[in-house]
Amino acid sequence: MTTERRAVGDYGERMAARHLADDGLILLHRNWRCADGEVDLILRDGDDVVFCEVKTRRTATFGPPAAAVDHRKIRKLRLLAGRWLAQSGVRPRQIRFDVVEVLPQPRGATRLVHIRSAF
């Protein structure tokens, strides 16, 4: 991944984490990694745990950012959630998979779309 793409992704994750915290979610991990991959954000929403994929695009030319979360990514996130739950020992009431789309605007505030229970 290029340095510029990584910087855009990092920006999106920071913005998403701030937005979700402002909505009352508590950040447990950012960029949690294991041998099988990475989860962008893991948060607590009351008694629930939220596994959040953040997708940032500079333009909507190729569709909305959430369109990049395909069946392979969904399968991987579910696997990673199971790994995190096994390692952490946390037993939430429910788990949820959210997606946050981040679209920086040429002028004005960055546009964020929080898709709760995306899959």
Q: Select the more confidently predicted residue: 113 or 106.
A: 113
Residue 108, pLDDT above cutoff 90: no
Token pair of 55 as six digits: 């997708």
Structure tokens at 29: 């991990």
DSSP string of 63-94? --GGGG--HHHHHHHHHHHHHHHHHH----S-
Q: Structural domain of residue 98, as residue ranges?
A: 3-115
Nearest Cα to 9, choosing from 65, 90, 48?
65
Domain total in the chain: 1
Confidence of residue 1 (pLDDT cuts 50, 70, 90): low
pLDDT tens for 51-67 read 999 999 887 788 899 99
CA distance 63 to 76: 22
CATH of the domain at 7: 3.40.1350.10
The letter for the amino acid at 44 is R
